[in-house]
């Protein structure tokens, strides 16, 4: 095998672990692939500094560990970086082991949410050279330069690594990137855009592409690890930068729809207003969808979002029980949720809601209460997921401390409660989703039947239509 190429780096998104067959929860079900914005942002910065960057998205390719290692080695890179979550960290570590067995001089780097939350544990692996904590663009650039010039990496904040005596050193978190506008747009030219889902969760407009306009979250929900990953500050891009990227996507990729893929698009409501006004001022014709909190919306903001092209909003409602919401430190009320979806319907924006079930402290009765509340919201779509405790959150620490789990998959906890076993929670996830969609389809068919009855004048035709829809509804609920 030839020499490694000094300025070449391969950035890898590992595949998630195949746990769904054994634990058939929605959380472990592999979804449609989305463009890896994090890796593409790193790549854009490194290309700007004349590094030769290749992206391997193994979530899409699904290579075996051996094949993935062979693909990487064939490129002869000096550096290999993996961006790992708690459901992909083991695949990343397996790949680094294979790489080091073949080429011990390859520099292996791990970043992403899991290494950020567990930097010392990750760095203690003998096949991992460096861990990058938090935002990686500036830290990774500094690290590659220091390794190239054989400088002391202990001066770089944001790293964790083993020293010559195999002691783990942690240089602490690097500074947050406050000027997100200064980052180049994601290097989408390094991936095949056609390998990704280019439709949003609601928008059936092709092609719909993803943009991230913010980092972090200003809220403190106890089940979320965002604070551990990003830190306490919520950073946003300017409306001008976001609209510039939309226009670039329209020119280069024919983009017609945008999915703002981030924790909370409406985390700073005034910025949402400014972005909508910028879209309208520049007369950019684009449809888009986003994620919000129910308490971050007003009637006026929702109306303005509709005028600026918003066609769908998805909110994490989480529960239909106020005591559960309070335990989660959600900071919202059931009345706020009902009001928000009323505003969406009035504005002509489709609404989606996500809920968790099996939260510590919940009973079966609480879960059924959540189902009934979801029906009352009259949303266009809803999803119910069994709560899985992920590292980095307050609730995760409590689940660990109290031993409130049936199984651990790596550092992920499959939760059980004093009143519900994990198997019961998993069964309820299936039951609640099935019952919700049966009732939702029934209500939609009933609405369609009424509309057809109003539209059709011929009595014989009316009777036929009514019988067909009625029979379909009866079969649906059997």
Instruction: Examine the domain organization and report whether 300 and 339 are in the same domain.
Output: yes
CA gap 417, 251 in Å, rounded: 52
Which region, left, alpha or beta, applies to residue 292 given φ > 0 means left and ψ of -120 to 50 means alpha? beta
Which region, left, alpha or beta, applies to residue 283 given φ > 0 means left and ψ of -120 to 50 means alpha? left
Instruction: Examine the domain organization and report whether 274 and 410 are in the same domain.
Output: yes
Is residue 333 within 8 Å of 322, Cβ to Cβ?
yes
Instruction: Examine the domain organization and report whether 240 and 389 are in the same domain.
Output: yes
- The confidence score (pLDDT) of residue 230 equals 87
Task: Give the H or E element holding residue 335.
Answer: helix 334-347
pLDDT band at residue 475 under the 50/70/90 scheme: very low
Kindly report the CATH number assigned to the domain that includes residue 95. Answer: 3.40.50.280
Domain termination residue (choose one: 132, 153, 170): 170
The beta-carbon contacts of 151-159 under 8 Å, at least 24 apart in sequence, are: 158/132, 158/133, 158/134, 159/130, 159/131, 159/132, 159/133
Is residue 280 within 8 Å of 171, Cβ to Cβ?
no
For residue 220, how many other CB atoms are within 10 A of its CB?
14
CA gap 266, 323 in Å, rounded: 25
Which region, left, alpha or beta, applies to residue 348 given φ > 0 means left and ψ of -120 to 50 means alpha? left
Pick from 407, 272, 417, 310: nearest CA to 356: 417
Domain termination residue (choose one: 420, 446, 463): 420
Specify the pTM.
0.90
Domain count, the chain: 2
CA gap 63, 229 in Å, rounded: 28
Domain span at 257: 198-420
Instruction: Examine the domain organization and report whether 222 and 259 are in the same domain.
Output: yes
* Within a domain: 435: no
Instruction: Examine the domain organization and report whether 220 and 99 are in the same domain.
Output: no
Instruction: Examine the domain organization and report whether 247 and 326 are in the same domain.
Output: yes
Instruction: Examine the domain organization and report whether 92 and 210 are in the same domain.
Output: no
Pick from 149, 131, 115, 302: nearest CA to 225: 115
What would the pLDDT profile of 362-383 be if each residue is shown by its tens digit? 999 999 999 999 999 999 999 9
Instruction: Examine the domain organization and report whether 238 and 322 are in the same domain.
Output: yes
Instruction: Examine the domain organization and report whether 391 and 280 are in the same domain.
Output: yes
In the chain, pLDDT over 90 holds for what percent of residues?
A: 85
Instruction: Examine the domain organization and report whether 165 and 233 are in the same domain.
Output: no
* Within a domain: 55: yes
CA dihedral 187, 189, 193, 196 (to 10 degrees): -30
Instruction: Examine the domain organization and report whether 246 and 123 are in the same domain.
Output: no
Q: What's the mean pLDDT in 117-138?
A: 97
Kindly report the CATH number assigned to the domain that includes residue 277. Answer: 3.20.20.70
Instruction: Examine the domain organization and report whether 240 and 360 are in the same domain.
Output: yes
What would the pLDDT profile of 410-466 be if each residue is shown by its tens digit? 999 999 988 999 999 999 999 999 999 987 764 454 444 444 554 454 444 455 555
Pick from 305, 310, 311, 329: nearest CA to 319: 329
CA gap 13, 337 in Å, rounded: 36
């Amino acid at each position: 095998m030839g020499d490694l190429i000094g300025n070449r780096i391969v950035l890898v998104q590992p595949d998630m672990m195949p746990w769904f067959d054994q634990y058939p929860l929605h959380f472990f079900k592999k979804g449609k692939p989305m463009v890896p914005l994090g890796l593409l942002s790193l790549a854009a910065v490194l290309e700007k500094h004349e590094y030769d960057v290749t992206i391997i998205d193994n979530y899409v390719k699904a290579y075996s560990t051996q094949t993935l290692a062979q693909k990487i080695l064939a490129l002869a890179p000096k550096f290999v970086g993996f961006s790992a979550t708690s459901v992909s960290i083991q695949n990343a570590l397996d790949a680094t082991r294979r790489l080091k067995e073949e080429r011990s001089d390859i520099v292996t780097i791990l970043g992403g949410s899991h290494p950020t939350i567990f930097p010392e544990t990750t760095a203690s692996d003998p096949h991992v050279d460096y861990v990058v904590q938090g935002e990686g663009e500036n830290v990774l650039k500094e690290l590659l330069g220091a390794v190239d010039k054989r400088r002391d990496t202990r001066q770089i904040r944001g790293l964790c690594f083993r020293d010559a005596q195999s002691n783990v050193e942690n240089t602490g978190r690097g500074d947050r990137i406050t000027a997100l506008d200064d980052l180049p747009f994601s290097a989408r030219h390094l991936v095949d855009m056609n390998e990704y889902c280019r439709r949003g969760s609601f928008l059936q407009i092709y092609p719909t592409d993803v943009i991230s306009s913010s980092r972090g979250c200003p809220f403190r929900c106890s089940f979320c690890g965002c604070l551990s990953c990003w830190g306490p500050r919520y950073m946003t891009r300017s409306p001008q930068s976001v609209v510039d990227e939309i226009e670039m996507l329209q020119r280069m990729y024919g983009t017609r729809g945008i999915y703002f893929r981030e924790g909370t698009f409406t985390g700073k409501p005034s910025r949402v207003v400014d972005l909508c006004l910028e879209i309208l001022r520049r007369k950019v014709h684009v449809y888009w969808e986003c994620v919000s909190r129910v308490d971050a919306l007003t009637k006026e903001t929702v109306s303005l979002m509709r005028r600026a092209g918003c066609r769908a909003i998805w909110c994490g409602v989480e529960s239909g029980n106020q005591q559960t919401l309070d335990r989660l430190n959600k900071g919202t009320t059931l009345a706020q949720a009902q009001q928000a979806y009323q505003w969406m319907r009035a504005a002509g924006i489709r609404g989606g809601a996500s809920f968790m079930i099996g939260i510590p402290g919940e009973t079966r009765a609480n879960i059924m209460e959540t189902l009934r509340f979801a029906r009352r919201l009259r949303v266009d779509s809803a999803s119910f997921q069994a709560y899985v405790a992920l590292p980095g959150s307050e609730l995760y620490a409590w689940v660990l401390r109290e031993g409130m789990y049936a199984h651990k998959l790596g550092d992920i906890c499959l939760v059980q409660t004093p009143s519900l076993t994990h198997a019961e929670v998993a069964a309820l996830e299936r039951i609640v989703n099935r019952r919700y969609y049966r009732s939702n389809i029934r209500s939609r068919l009933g609405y369609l039947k009424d509309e057809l009855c109003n539209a059709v004048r011929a009595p014989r035709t009316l009777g036929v239509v009514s019988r067909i829809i009625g029979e379909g509804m009866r079969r649906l609920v059997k």
